[in-house]
Amino acid sequence: MLLIGVTGPIASGKSTVCKVFAELGAFVIDADKLGHEVLEEPSIKVELIEFFGDDVVNDDGTINRSRIASLVFSNERALRFLEKVTHRVLVERLSDRIDELRSSKFPGIVVLDAAMLPKWPVLQEKLDYLVLVESPRWQRANRLIQDRGLPQEQCDRRLDAQAPLFDKITSQIDYIVKNNGDLAELKAKAVKVWLDIKKKME
């Protein structure tokens, strides 16, 4: 089994690169998806409600992730609390998923899709390759505002919050995918990285 970590700031095109890898045969572990499951665990939900209040709960009893995001990106203390409550459990789940695949002698390529990977050294140590997806700030801002409907102020807060994060892993990056063109160009760059890694496996 070979493990590729794919990371990058919000709206960089990271998920698109992972989708290309999946289409080429990779098994993708989506940290965001697993993180959503962690938020719904009863013990964690109780802590979130105690800290943020009932406003973060939807009518159906699930956690309102958009509301949580708007609160933590405007409040450093709230962000630290959220990470303290959720990241340890999430990293354990991701690590267990990777270890399960390894112990089962999974024969292919596994991709870990995780924006917060720079904060998780225990997972970085498991990687065979690390791919960073980059995109100019103005392009990421356009995607957040036009495609996701974020107000300018929220957009700026989210971009600012992640700005220093990826400097932590500069020396560990094996591939940088620059998303500064159209979708077809990004997909072509992802395929090129995939083929290069496959060649090294031969």
Q: What is the CA radius of gyration of the chain?
A: 17
Do 2 and 8 form a contact (C-beta atoms < 8 A)?
A: no
Q: What's the chain's average pLDDT? A: 92
Q: Which amino acid is at 159?
A: L
pTM (two decimals) = 0.91
Spatial separation of the C-alpha atoms in residues 114 and 69, rounded to whole Å = 17
Structure confidence at residue 6 (pLDDT): 98
Say how far apart CA 25 and CA 10 lie, in whole Å.
25
110, HSE (Cβ side, Cα atoms, 13 Å): 23
The one-letter amino acid code at 106 reads F
Structure confidence at residue 21 (pLDDT): 98
pLDDT digits (tens, 9 = 90+) for 106-160: 999 999 999 999 999 999 999 999 999 999 999 999 999 988 888 888 888 888 8
pLDDT of 153: 83
Domains along the chain with CATH numbers: 2-201 (3.40.50.300)
Angle, helices 76-103/42-52, rounded to nearest 10 degrees:
170
CB–CB of 124/171 below 8 Å?
no
What whole-number distance in Å separates Cα of residue 130 and Cα of residue 172? 7
Q: What percent of the chain has pLDDT over 90?
A: 77
Task: Check if the beta carbon of residue 48 is closer than 8 Å to that of residue 61.
Answer: no
What is the rounded CA–CA span in Å between residue 178 and residue 190?
A: 10
pLDDT digits (tens, 9 = 90+) for 72-118: 887 889 989 999 999 999 999 999 999 999 999 999 999 999 999 99
| pLDDT reading at 202 higher than 80 | no
Q: What is the pLDDT of residue 38?
A: 95
Average pLDDT (4-27) is 96
Quick check: 56 and 48 in contact, CB under 8 A? yes
- In angstroms, the CA 91 to CA 5 distance is 14
The C-alpha atoms of residue 109 and residue 145 are separated, in whole angstroms, by: 34
